[in-house]
Chains A and B, each alone.
Chain A
Amino acid sequence: MLVGHQPKPFLLSVEGLTVSFDGFKAVNDLSFYVEENEIRVIIGPNGAGKTTVLDLICGKTKATSGSIEFRGKDLTKLKENQIVKAGVGRKFQTPSIYDDLTVFENLEISYPRGRTVFGALTFTRDAAVRDRVHEVAEMIFLKDRLNMSAALLSHGQKQWLEIGMLLIQDPDLLMLDEPVAGMSVSERAKTAELLNRIIKDRSVLVIEHDMKFVEDIAHKVTVLHQGQILSEGTMEKVKNDPKVIEVYLGH
């Protein structure tokens, strides 16, 4: 063993990850590594397997083979709620919020306490919860809407609310699936500002099509194509890769 020459441990190591749906390999022998405090953006054409990769990491889809190691735990063997507890948070592509609850209640449900049946029954809304909800609500520009029914929010506000729900969870790895899709220009700018603020002290895995947005935030970019990595590196490197230009950026 090379003592004193240990490589820095990765936060997330995906190795040989494969999932096949009835013989179709949506993700095929995929390996990549995410460091602490890294912002990684996954891009690629439709059907490249981007969302499936996030599904595999958060446990929504079970891998056919391969491993996903996160802080020394193999996520492929954990249940969804255990993966969340380990520190992985996931935002879905379409805003998934609770329409029948208020903005406050939406945020409160993600507060990482009282997650068992008994815990939820005895959960009290104390000052710590209230302060945290207010703090996050201010970050996501919804401070004055806390008592509003979440169903009445605009599309962009719903996206922010879901991001806020993840912030309350305070995950070590935050996975965002197209956070600015369907947003107006001004909302997009505000979201970029929001993301830049919340990515401190955590690693973020983002799927996004908006190249301008990707350039703004990405430390490293992974280009997926047909379930495999086509190219990986800085935005500069990826942008000039002829293979990437051919299958994705050229369009």
Chain B
Amino acid sequence: MNDSRFATRSELIGILVLAVFLVVILPLCLDVFRLNLVAKYLTYAFVALGLVICWGYGGILSLGQGVFFGLGGYCMAMFLKLEASSVENTKIQSTPGIPDFMDWNQITALPFFWKPFHSLTFTILAVILVPGIFALIIGAAMFKRRVGGTYFAIITQAVAAILTILIVGQQGYTGGINGMTDLRTLKGWDIRPDHAKVVLYFFEVGLLFACICIAQLVRHSKLGRILVAMRDQEDRVRFSGYSVANFKIFAFCIAAIFAAIGGAMFALNVGFMSPSFVGIVPSIEMVIYTAVGGRLSILGAVYGTLLVNFAKTSLSESFPELWLFGLGGLFIAVVLAFPNGLAGIWGDYVQPRIGKLMGTRKPKAGWTDNSVADGAPAE
């Protein structure tokens, strides 16, 4: 139970239930259009998952995860855009063979930093390394200087704003406010038809479970416990011989890499990438997904993301101007009434009832999915 390297029994059941839900139930119940919507939502679940480690366990609130989502997404989109801009596809341009937006901005040759993105291997590495190294630099600059808490959150938000301005301003290199649109094929395989959407959905779910497994491993390692320890007693951890900054940098980098994988899958699933997924508003939305799911629950992050996005889609169709207020209200309500989100509600109200019905109420060991840092531990 306590010594488990990967997951407790109840966590394993939880992962299995989620797997059945995503792999069997949703594909059977939804048409391809809706399934593709779920695929789009799940790209944010990667971000939420990273935030559980970084914010939930490590206590490091980043309001700039859109930056990493965007970097991952743009890396992938650059590869897809180059493939879609073959000489024959772009022969009506004044310079054929470069992306259309470059041509519109009077750029006549492919910029140097675009060239490596002809290679898929390089692109996959870049999806992970570019955001990872960027997070490492921000993390090292902040955490080594002991910048934390609110100040860190504000700085990440500033980074999100800066990156958006940069992308919008450098239209010729990035596609500007419109982003990179009209992405077509991946190594010759068309990503637009229905069957491709289904394949991409399953591929994405597979990646999501890989990330869930990594998150589980981190959380059940001593590193996961050190993150939790640091959240409340940073000095005690420091004077127990740990370099607190390095652990924070690690958590921040993991969160960044997860977000980037989500971003890359977004470019593939949705077929475009734009600065509207990089800035302050999307970054804060991603934090809200995590808060709603329960910031201490790895699986809660996935459910929270799905729930908020379904609500967003259905509500913003009927009341587009009210949605942002609704989202803000939801965040305040969750923080005030259910600080541990859906996972907290599940652990506090639903699970005990089920246990009573089954007549086998298991004692919680303090590390079951939802009971960590509850106001009132179960025993």
Contacts and interface: CB of A to CB of B under 8 A. Distances in A.
Interface in B220-268: 221-223, 225-226, 228-229, 231-233, 235-243, 246-247, 250
Contact of A114 (B222, B236, B238, B246): B222
B145 to A, nearest CB: 13
B229 A98 contact: yes
A12 interface: no
Interface stretch (A20-28, A67-75, A144-152, A197-205): A144-152
Interface in B1-17: 2-3
Contact of B247 (A58, A104, A117, A169): A117
B116 interface: no
Nearest to A102: B366
B223 A121 contact: yes
B215 interface: no
Nearest to A110: B240
B63 interface: no
B228 A101 contact: yes
A80 interface: yes
Contact of B377 (A60, A98, A149, A169): A149
Interface string A147-187: 11101100000000010010001000000000000000000
Interface in A62-95: 79-81, 84-85, 89-90, 92
A60 B239 contact: yes
A165 B242 CA distance: 14
B2 A102 contact: yes
A99 B221 contact: no
Interface in B190-244: 218, 221-223, 225-226, 228-229, 231-233, 235-243
B23 interface: no
Contact of B218 (A99, A108, A121): A121
A144 to B, nearest CB: 14
Residue from the set B222, B242, B247, B250 with the largest chain A CB neighbour count within 10 Å: B222
Nearest to A122: B221
Residue from the set A121, A122, A125 with the largest chain B CB neighbour count within 10 Å: A121
A114 to B, nearest CB: 6
B311 interface: no
Given A100-B372, A101-B229, A101-B366, A92 B236 contact: yes
Residue from the set B231, B235, B366 with the largest chain A CB neighbour count within 10 Å: B366
Nearest to A123: B222
Contacts of B238: 80-81
Contacts of A115: 241-243
Interface string A113-133: 011110011110100000000
For chain A, the bracket of interface size reads 35 or more
A149 B236 CA distance: 17
A40 B276 CA distance: 63
Residue from the set B226, B235, B240 with the largest chain A CB neighbour count within 10 Å: B240
Residue from the set A90, A96, A102, A109 with the largest chain B CB neighbour count within 10 Å: A109
Contacts of B225: 101, 105, 108-109
B137 interface: no
B241 A97 contact: no
B222 A96 contact: no
A129 to B, nearest CB: 10
Given A108-B222, A122-B221, A98 B228 contact: yes
B241 A123 contact: no
Contact of A98 (B221, B236, B242, B247): B236
A169 B236 CA distance: 12
B226 A96 contact: no
A101 B372 CA distance: 8
Contact of B232 (A99, A114, A162): A99
Contacts of B250: 117
A132 to B, nearest CB: 14
Interface of B: 2-3, 218, 221-223, 225-226, 228-229, 231-233, 235-243, 246-247, 250, 365-367, 372-373, 377, 379
Closest 4 CB pairs of A and B: A84-B241, A120-B223, A123-B222, A96-B236
26 contacts: A81-B242, A92-B239, A96-B236, A97-B236, A100-B229, A100-B231, A102-B365, A102-B366, A106-B229, A109-B225, A109-B240, A112-B241, A117-B223, A117-B247, A120-B221, A120-B223, A121-B218, A122-B221, A123-B222, A123-B223, A147-B365, A149-B366, A149-B377, A149-B379, A152-B377, A169-B241
Given A109-B225, A110-B241, 10 more contacts: A58-B239, A79-B243, A90-B239, A92-B236, A97-B233, A97-B236, A100-B229, A109-B226, A121-B222, A125-B3
